[in-house]
């Protein structure tokens, strides 16, 4: 059946169901989604296209490309919606899927490997999550893979006899290199790592081919100008609006200092050894097969075979990425997102056969699907059982908060994944390429992710409650009203209330904002309000609203006396 459908239509359909259809399900979640969506909204209102702000205060933590893309997606909307804010990530994910399918097809001269890699990538939990999440990470991955695709095809022409040529193949190598530099510049203005990922791939592929001389062609004056000029123009406009000290913070503080001496998310050097398998779930059960595949390729560097070039380039790329990010003091799981496409291709190649001496045996491939079925039994059987027996108090408490519907959905999804894995186990014995078996496993995982996305998204809305409380604030506060908002959910309240405000962390800041006349309203937790009985400004205010947001009760105070407090 799959052989009769063009791979691109399969990928487009899978992306539409698993990503596009889930964009409107959730309200924006704090901290990242609320922060970035609010920054894009403020950029639209202020028309300060080169200086992102939060609460009208210049913020140099993230460059502006994500906010430009969000505003482009919401060009017809007066207030940026949750769906529009997620469109850049969703479309970036689609682009990455198409490029990884192209890469797999080119490296191994196999459309099956390309399609399988895209299906695995889409159903990796970490990729699926970020494809519908408002953040810089997926657009950065897209710009990085645009550059990788353009550069590698310009430097290492690997078109095989009989392969069809498309519009991209008709571009000259010089044009591809120049456009690659431009994409790298946009990637740098998205999250600052626009050159790191492409250079790691080019070095890895040159190493696998034992061919270093083509790399000299990257030093192209036109291309390097296309990289520098957009960056310079943005920094110049940003400096004019925010000051030269903020430019220093971007160029130095958010790059070199953040890499060498991060102020937060400080993790040990071996962080990714245990975090990466979690992010790759459930496909991480195939990681042992990648190790076996890598062992079989040892000593083959420089060979013209597809596995020696493609397999070793992918493995070298992963090794460079792990080394580079493990040496940084600050680490987050999402930092390795641009490496997921290569890991997906390695999983696909390990689980499939091309009739070469590097193919893994039938026993090893069937073990992978059995391991997948066994992993799926955790949410299918063990999770509901542990919740029912209350054997783990924290688990039982979490289940009571999210609701029985979510637990039932996880259990049903686990059953679906198990069925898909067992179907793949039976199919792999008679499937000549392994594509049908892998597709069955991906289908089971995809259905699980779809269920979790729908039911889990609704549960997240109920638990956070930001949209409902924001609407209440908008009904109470006049459009010109300004709030002094306690640190924690600042951007969430700004976005859903469509009102202005400033953030405060200590009582002195709150007192200053209220007495200066900049803010007439205060929004804080009930617990905090009880602790600030001695602040004079609060004694002259009365409660207007109370509501539960993210498990904490918040109180909106406004002008007027407070009785008996």
Question: What pLDDT digit, counting tens, does each position of 361-391 carry?
Answer: 888 889 999 999 998 888 777 667 665 656 6
The position carrying tokens 């080169």 is 50
pLDDT (mean) for 42-60: 89
Give the model's pLDDT for residue 1.
56
Q: Give the count of alpha carbons within 13 A of 370, CB side only.
A: 7
Is the CA virtual torsion 344, 346, 347, 348 positive or negative? Answer: positive
Bond before 391 cis per omega within 30 degrees: no
Give the model's pLDDT for residue 563.
44
The position carrying tokens 């790329």 is 317
Question: What pLDDT digit, counting tens, does each position of 251-285 carry?
Answer: 776 677 777 777 778 899 999 999 999 999 999 99
Task: Determine the Cα–Cα distance for residues 411 and 162; give it in Å rounded to an integer.
Answer: 47
Q: Residue 14 pLDDT > 80, yes or no?
A: yes
Percent of the chain with pLDDT over 90: 67
Structure tokens at 546: 């109370």
Task: Determine the Cα–Cα distance for residues 212 and 218; give it in Å rounded to an integer.
Answer: 12
Q: Residue 349 pLDDT > 80, yes or no?
A: yes
Structure tokens at 459: 């549960």
Residues 6+ positions from 279 with CB-CB distance below 8 Å: 124, 125, 126, 333, 336, 340
Contact criterion met (CB below 8 Å) for 31 and 61:
no
Domain chopping of the chain, boundaries: 2-258, 364-463, 467-559
How big is the chain by its Cα radius of gyration, in Å?
26
pLDDT (mean) for 471-481: 93
Helix (H) and strand (E) counts for the chain?
A: 27, 7
Structure tokens at 540: 């002259």
* DSSP code of residue 431: -
Percent of the chain with pLDDT over 70: 93
Q: Residue 397 pLDDT > 50, yes or no?
A: yes
Task: Determine the Cα–Cα distance for residues 469 and 478; give it in Å rounded to an integer.
Answer: 15
* DSSP code of residue 556: E
State the Cα angle at 203 between 199 and 208, rounded to 5°: 150
User: Do strands 521-525 and 541-549 pair parallel, antiparallel, or not at all (unpaired)?
Assistant: unpaired
How far does CA 371 lie from the centroid of its chain? 26
Task: Determine the Cα–Cα distance for residues 44 and 29; give it in Å rounded to an integer.
Answer: 21
Taking CA atoms, 353 is separated from 116, 456, 534, in Å, by 12, 37, 73
Task: Determine the Cα–Cα distance for residues 122 and 132; give it in Å rounded to an integer.
Answer: 12
Pick one of 1.10.10.10, 3.40.190.10, 3.30.1490.100, 3.90.180.10 as the CATH number of 467-559: 3.40.190.10
């Amino acid at each position: 059946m799959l052989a009769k459908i063009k791979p691109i239509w399969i990928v487009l359909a899978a992306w539409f169901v698993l990503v596009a259809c889930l964009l409107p399900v959730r309200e924006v979640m704090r901290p990242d989604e609320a922060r970035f969506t609010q920054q894009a909204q403020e950029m639209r209102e202020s028309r300060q296209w080169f200086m992102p702000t939060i609460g009208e205060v210049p913020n140099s933590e993230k460059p502006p490309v994500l906010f430009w893309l969000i505003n482009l997606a919401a060009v017809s909307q007066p207030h940026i919606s949750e769906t529009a804010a997620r469109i850049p990530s969703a479309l970036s994910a689609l682009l990455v899927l198409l490029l990884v399918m192209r890469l797999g097809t080119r490296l191994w001269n196999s459309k099956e490997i390309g399609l399988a890699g895209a299906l695995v990538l889409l159903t990796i939990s970490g990729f699926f999550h970020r494809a519908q999440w408002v953040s810089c990470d997926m657009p950065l991955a897209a710009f990085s893979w645009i550059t990788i695709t353009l550069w590698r095809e310009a430097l290492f022409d690997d078109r095989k006899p009989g392969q069809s040529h498309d519009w991209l193949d008709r571009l000259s190598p010089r044009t591809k290199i120049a456009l690659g530099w431009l994409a790298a510049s946009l990637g740098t203005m998205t999250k600052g790592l626009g050159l790191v990922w492409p250079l790691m791939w080019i070095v890895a592929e040159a190493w696998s081919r034992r061919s270093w001389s083509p790399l000299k062609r990257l030093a192209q004056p036109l291309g390097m100008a296309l990289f520098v000029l957009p960056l310079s123009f943005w920094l110049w406009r940003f400096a004019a609006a925010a000051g030269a000290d903020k430019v220093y913070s971007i160029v130095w503080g958010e790059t070199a200092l953040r890499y060498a001496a991060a102020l937060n998310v400080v993790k040990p050097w071996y962080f990714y050894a245990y975090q990466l398998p979690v992010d790759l779930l459930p496909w991480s059960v195939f990681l042992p097969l990648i190790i076996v595949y890598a062992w079989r390729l040892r000593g083959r560097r420089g060979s013209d075979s597809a596995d020696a070039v493609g397999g070793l380039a992918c493995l070298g790329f992963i090794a460079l990425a792990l080394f580079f990010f493990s040496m940084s003091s600050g680490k987050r799981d999402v930092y390795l997102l641009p490496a997921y496409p290569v890991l997906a291709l390695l999983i696909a190649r390990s689980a499939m056969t091309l009739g070469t001496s590097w193919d893994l045996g039938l026993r090893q491939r069937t073990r992978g699907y059995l391991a997948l079925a066994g992993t799926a039994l955790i949410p299918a059987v063990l999770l509901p059982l542990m919740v029912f027996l209350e054997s783990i108090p924290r688990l039982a408490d979490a289940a009571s908060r999210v609701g029985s519907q979510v637990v039932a959905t996880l259990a049903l999804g686990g059953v679906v994944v198990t069925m898909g894995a067992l179907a793949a186990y039976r199919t792999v014995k008679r499937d000549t390429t392994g594509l049908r078996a892998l597709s069955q496993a991906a289908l089971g995982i995809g259905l699980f992710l779809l269920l979790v996305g729908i039911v889990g998204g609704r549960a997240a809305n109920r638990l956070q409650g930001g949209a409902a409380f924001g609407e209440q604030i908008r009904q109470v506060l006049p459009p010109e009203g300004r709030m002094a908002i306690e640190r924690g959910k600042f951007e969430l309240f700004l976005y859903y209330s469509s009102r202005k405000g400033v953030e405060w962390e200590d009582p002195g800041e709150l007192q200053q904002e209220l007495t200066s006349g900049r803010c007439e309203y205060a929004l804080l937790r009930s617990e905090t309000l009880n602790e600030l009985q001695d602040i004079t400004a609060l004694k002259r205010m009365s409660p207007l609203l109370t509501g539960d947001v993210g498990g904490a009760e918040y109180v909106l105070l406004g002008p007027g006396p407070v009785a008996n407090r």
